[in-house]
Structure 1
C-alpha cells in the first residue's frame, strides 16, 4: 500500500510562534507526534511518505503516487483538514482520518468524504483499520472503549521528520489525567487514569533522537506529566544518569498541574534531570470560579506562592488563563492581569472559555439549553473565539476584558519586563540552571535578528532591551538563551495581539476597546449566534 501521511497546516495561533520561527529560520515549533506514531503502527511492507504541511508541502506527484491518504488533526487545523479530505476524494484516493478532532466530532470528517475514521487511540484502532483493509472493506468507523497499555506503544517514526525545521522535538511519557476539570476534553479522550510508559521505553526514544543527531530542547507533550507521581519519579531517577552519561544533550519542558509545587522531591528530580520549564493550567485566581469548574487542585494552596516556589526550584513558568466561567464576577480579566504581573509569567495564554464536545461542561450546558446552535456550536480550537454557549454575564463584557487583557499583557514594554523578571526569579540549581536551547546553527541568526528588531528598529523598547540584556549577561548568564528565546517570541505575540483583537472585533461587529456597548447590541449578538 502506497500511503501518504499528511499533517494539516495550523492557522496563526497563540502557539504557532510564526514570526519567531521566521526570524530563527525555522518552520515549526514541534513535530506532530501522533501521526508519526501511527506511521510506526503500519505494516512494514507499506510504502510511506510523510509531510508535516507546516514544514513542507507535498507535491502533485505524491498525490498521483499514493493509494491511501492518512490525515491526523486537532481542532485548530480544521480548515486545512477538510480541504485535504476533499482533495483526496476529488482525486479518487481513499482517505483515512484520526486524531483528537475527528475523534470528538466524527460526523464532520464523514461529511467531507472520509472513507475510514480511525478514532480514539491508535494502538487500539489502527489494527482494526488494517484488518478491514485486508478484508477489502472500502469504508469503516473504528472505535475502542478500551484504553491501550502505552507500554506497548511503538517507537514513533522520528526518522520521517526534518529535524532541522523544528525548534523543539517531542516525546510522550503518559496519557490521561487524574483530575476532573469540567471544561477539559483530555479526560473524555484519554481517561482519568494516568497511563505511563516504562522508563526504559522512554529512554529508548530519547536515545533514538540522540542517534539521529538531535541536540536541544524537547517537549514532553503529556497533558499532565505528573498525573502518576510514583511512575514519573521512577522515570526521572533513570533519566538523570542517562543525561549525565550523554553530557546533557537535551533540556525539557512539559505540562503539569499546579500541585507540582507541593512535592519538593519531584521538583528537585525534574530540575536535576534537565527540565527548564513547565506549563501550568492556572485558569483564574478567582477561587469561586475554580470551584465551579471543578479545578479543586488549584484551591489547596495560594497560587502566587506555588508559582514562586516553582521558580525558586529553577523552572520557567508558562500558564493558561480563561475568562467566561459561570458565575464569574466583573473584572476577572483585570484580576488575571494583576496575577500575571505579580508572578511575572512571560507568556500567559489568555483565552475565552469554550465547551468542547463531550466534556462535562458540554453535557451540562446542553441539558441547560445554553449551547449555541449553528456553525459556531464547535470551537475553533484557538483562544480568541467567543464562547459557544450563553454565559452568565454579558458576552460584550467578557470580550472587552479579553481583548483589553491580551492587548495590555502583550504590550512590548510589559512583555519584555516580565520576561526579564521571570529570568531573574529563577534560582539556579546545584548543577546550574537548565535553559531553553536554541537549535545549533540558529543562534547567531536569531541574535542578529533580535539586535536589529529590538535593539535598533523599535525605539520604544530599544533601551529596555539593551539594559535587560546587559544585566543578565553580567549577573545571570545561565539564562541568556532563555531570555533571547522569550524576546524572539515577543515578535510573534506583538503581531498576534493585533490578530486577536481583529478576530473578536469581527465576531462582535465592533471593536470592544473603542465602542460603548449598548444592551441592545448584546441582545442582538446572542440572537444572531
Structure 2
C-alpha cells in the first residue's frame, strides 16, 4: 500500500508568521505531528510519502504514486481540506480522513467524498481502519466509542518523513487532555479531562530520534496543558535534564500551560534548567466575571498579573491568548485587555473574537438558546462571531479591531518586548548551565541584519530600537538572540493587523444593521440562523 499523507493549507493567522519565517528561509512554524504519528501506527510495510501544503504543493508524480490519500485537519484548515478531498477523488484515489475537524463534523468530510472517516484518537481507530482495508471494504466510519487510548503505547512518530529545513520548530507531545472545564474549549471534548502522559523514556526516545536526524533547533511541546499532570511532568523533566546536559543542550523548548504554573516554583525551575524558554498561557480576559461565566475558574484564584510576572521572573518568556465577546461582557473589554498586556509586558499576545467550536459546552448551550448564527465551521481569527453575543456585534468587532491595532503599534510592541526580556535576564541564563555553542549561519546573520535595518533605520522606532538593543547587551547579553527573534515577529504583526482590519470591516459591511446593532436579548427567533 502506497500512502500519501497530505496536510492542508492554513489560512493567514496570528500564528502563521509568513514574513518572519521568510527572514529565516522557512516555510512553516510547525510540522504535522498528527500525520507522522499516523504513519508510525499504520503497518510499517506500507510505503509513505508526506506533503505539507504549507511547505509545497503535491507533484504529479506523487499523485500518480499513491494508492491511498490520508488527510488530517483542524477546523481552520477546512477550505483546503475539503478541496484536497475533492482533488484526490477526481484523480480516482481512495481517501481517508481524520483529525479534530472531521471528528467534530464528520458529515462535512463525508459530503466532500471521503471514503474512510478515521475519527477520535488514532491509536484506537487506525487499527479498525487497517482491518477494513484488509477485508477489502471500500469505505467506513471508525470511532472509539468513548474509549481513550493509553498513550504509553504510542510509537515514535515518523519524523524521517518531514522536510526539516522547511520548519522553524519541531513538535512533540507529552500528554493529552486537560483537567479543567472551560466552556469554549474543545480539548476536553476531543481528549477528555484526565491528562494521559507518555513515559519519560518514551518521550526521550522521540527526542533522541530527532537528534539522530540532525535537528538542533527549537521544539514545541504541543500539549494543550503541559502541566495537566504535574507529578508526571516533573518525573519527565528529571530525566530530561541529564539527557540535555549529555547532548550539550541541542534543543530549546516551548509549550502551553495553565496559569497555575506560577504557583509551582520547583516546576518552573525544572523547566528552565531543561532549556524551556517560553510558555503560552490562556489568560483569555482580565474580567473576572467573564472568566467565571466561561468556567475558567483556575484564572480567578490569584492575580493574573502576579502570575505572569512570577513566570517571567523564573526565566520563561510568556506568550498569552486573549478573547473578546464573552456573555455579559461590559463595553471596553478590548481596552482592558490592551491595558493588561501593557502592564504585564507580554510581547506576543494572541487576540481573537470568541467562537463556538463544534460540540463544546458553549456550542451546545448556544444551540439550546437559539443563538448560533451557523452550525458550519467557518472559523478563524478573522471571522466574526458565529453566534449572537449579548452586546452588539459591531461594538465587539470595533473593539477587537482597535485593540489589535494598538497591541501591535511598533513602539508598543518593541517596548513590551524589551521590558519582558529585562525581566527574563534576571533569572534565565544562570540557571540553565552550560549551553553548547552554536555557530550563526548566514541565513540567521542575514535575518538579524534585516531586523536591524528595518527597525533601526527605516522605521520611526530607530532610536528606541538601538537604545533597547544597547541596554539588552549590557544587562542580558545571553538573551540577545532570542530578543531579536521576538522583535522579528513585528514583521508579521504589522501585516496581520491590517488583514484583521480589512477582513473584519468587509464582513461588518455585509451584515444587516439589525444583526450588527442588537445583542441576543434584542433578537427575535426569526433573526437567528438555525
Is the contact between residue 20 and residue 489 of structure 1 (CA under 8 Å) also seen in structure 2? Answer: yes
Superposed counterparts of 1:70-81, under 5 Å: 70-81=70-81
Which of 398-407 and 42-51 deviates more?
42-51
In the alignment, the residues of structure 2 paired with residue 94 and residue 9 of structure 1 have an alpha-carbon distance, to the nearest angstrom, of 20
In the alignment, the residues of structure 2 paired with residue 173 and residue 434 of structure 1 have an alpha-carbon distance, to the nearest angstrom, of 25
User: Are residue 522 (structure 1) and residue 522 (structure 2) matched?
Assistant: no
Which of 419, 422, 430 is matched with 2:417 structurally? 419
Superposed counterparts of 1:194-273, under 5 Å: 194-273=195-274
Paired position in structure 1 for 2:408: 410
Give 1:306 deviation, angstroms.
Answer: 0.4
Paired position in structure 2 for 1:428: 427
SS at match of 2:489: helix
Which of 123-132 and 470-479 deviates more?
470-479
Is the contact between residue 5 and residue 50 of structure 1 (CA under 8 Å) also seen in structure 2? Answer: yes
In the alignment, the residues of structure 2 paired with residue 381 and residue 25 of structure 1 have an alpha-carbon distance, to the nearest angstrom, of 29
In the alignment, the residues of structure 2 paired with residue 100 and residue 389 of structure 1 have an alpha-carbon distance, to the nearest angstrom, of 21
Provide the TM-score with structure 2 as the length reference: 0.94
Is the contact between residue 372 and residue 389 of structure 1 (CA under 8 Å) also seen in structure 2? Answer: yes
Structure 2 vs 1, CA of residues 520 and 219 (structure 1 numbering), >3 Å: closer, same or farther?
closer
Give 1:510 deviation, angstroms.
Answer: 7.8
Paired position in structure 2 for 1:474: 474
In the alignment, the residues of structure 1 paired with residue 10 and residue 302 of structure 2 have an alpha-carbon distance, to the nearest angstrom, of 37
Which of 162-171 and 502-511 deviates more?
502-511
- Deviation track 1:100-122 (CA, whole Å, cap 9, x = no partner) reads 11111111101110000111111
- Deviation track 1:437-483 (CA, whole Å, cap 9, x = no partner) reads 9985532121122123222222x112222221121122211111111
Give 1:434 deviation, angstroms.
Answer: 10
Is the contact between residue 393 and residue 515 of structure 2 (CA under 8 Å) also seen in structure 1? Answer: no
User: Are residue 95 (structure 1) and residue 95 (structure 2) matched?
Assistant: yes
In the alignment, the residues of structure 1 paired with residue 392 and residue 423 of structure 2 have an alpha-carbon distance, to the nearest angstrom, of 38
- Deviation track 1:403-426 (CA, whole Å, cap 9, x = no partner) reads 000011011111111111111111
- Deviation track 1:360-414 (CA, whole Å, cap 9, x = no partner) reads 11111111111113xxx34434222211111111101100110000011011111
In the alignment, the residues of structure 2 paired with residue 524 and residue 503 of structure 1 have an alpha-carbon distance, to the nearest angstrom, of 22
In the alignment, the residues of structure 2 paired with residue 166 and residue 335 of structure 1 have an alpha-carbon distance, to the nearest angstrom, of 35
Paired position in structure 1 for 2:120: 120
Superposed counterparts of 1:165-184, under 5 Å: 165-184=166-185
- Deviation track 1:84-110 (CA, whole Å, cap 9, x = no partner) reads 100011111110011111111111101
Paired position in structure 2 for 1:401: 399
Is the contact between residue 216 and residue 438 of structure 1 (CA under 8 Å) also seen in structure 2? Answer: no
In the alignment, the residues of structure 1 paired with residue 215 and residue 35 of structure 2 have an alpha-carbon distance, to the nearest angstrom, of 19
Superposed counterparts of 1:331-410, under 5 Å: 331-373=332-374, 377-410=375-408
- Deviation track 1:171-204 (CA, whole Å, cap 9, x = no partner) reads 0000000000000000000000000000000001
Give 1:42 deviation, angstroms.
Answer: 1.6
- Deviation track 1:14-60 (CA, whole Å, cap 9, x = no partner) reads 10001001121111111110000001112122111111111122201
Structure 2 vs 1, CA of residues 439 and 296 (structure 1 numbering), >3 Å: closer, same or farther?
farther
In the alignment, the residues of structure 2 paired with residue 336 and residue 65 of structure 1 have an alpha-carbon distance, to the nearest angstrom, of 51
Give 1:519 deviation, angstroms.
Answer: 6.9
In the alignment, the residues of structure 2 paired with residue 388 and residue 464 of structure 1 have an alpha-carbon distance, to the nearest angstrom, of 41
- Deviation track 1:146-177 (CA, whole Å, cap 9, x = no partner) reads 11100000100111111111111110000000
Paired position in structure 1 for 2:285: 284
Is the contact between residue 216 and residue 439 of structure 1 (CA under 8 Å) also seen in structure 2? Answer: no
Structure 2 vs 1, CA of residues 63 and 40 (structure 1 numbering), >3 Å: closer, same or farther?
same
Structure 2 vs 1, CA of residues 91 and 286 (structure 1 numbering), >3 Å: closer, same or farther?
same
5+ long unaligned stretches in structure 2:
none
Is the contact between residue 118 and residue 125 of structure 2 (CA under 8 Å) also seen in structure 1? Answer: yes
Structure 2 vs 1, CA of residues 135 and 380 (structure 1 numbering), >3 Å: closer, same or farther?
same
Is the contact between residue 389 and residue 519 of structure 2 (CA under 8 Å) also seen in structure 1? Answer: no
Structure 2 vs 1, CA of residues 382 and 241 (structure 1 numbering), >3 Å: closer, same or farther?
same
Paired position in structure 2 for 1:514: none
Provide the TM-score with structure 1 as the length reference: 0.95
Give 1:259 deviation, angstroms.
Answer: 0.4
In the alignment, the residues of structure 2 paired with residue 172 and residue 438 of structure 1 have an alpha-carbon distance, to the nearest angstrom, of 28
Give 1:520 deviation, angstroms.
Answer: 8.0
Give 1:523 deviation, angstroms.
Answer: 5.0
Structure 2 vs 1, CA of residues 317 and 380 (structure 1 numbering), >3 Å: closer, same or farther?
farther
In the alignment, the residues of structure 2 paired with residue 337 and residue 457 of structure 1 have an alpha-carbon distance, to the nearest angstrom, of 26
In the alignment, the residues of structure 2 paired with residue 440 and residue 278 of structure 1 have an alpha-carbon distance, to the nearest angstrom, of 27
In the alignment, the residues of structure 1 paired with residue 442 and residue 224 of structure 2 have an alpha-carbon distance, to the nearest angstrom, of 31
Structure 2 vs 1, CA of residues 367 and 439 (structure 1 numbering), >3 Å: closer, same or farther?
farther
In the alignment, the residues of structure 1 paired with residue 439 and residue 127 of structure 2 have an alpha-carbon distance, to the nearest angstrom, of 39
Is the contact between residue 167 and residue 439 of structure 1 (CA under 8 Å) also seen in structure 2? Answer: no
Paired position in structure 1 for 2:323: 322
Q: CA RMSD in A?
A: 2.0
Aligned residues: 519
Which of 218-227 and 462-471 deviates more?
462-471
User: Are residue 298 (structure 1) and residue 288 (structure 2) matched?
Assistant: no
Give 1:488 deviation, angstroms.
Answer: 1.1
In the alignment, the residues of structure 2 paired with residue 220 and residue 266 of structure 1 have an alpha-carbon distance, to the nearest angstrom, of 16
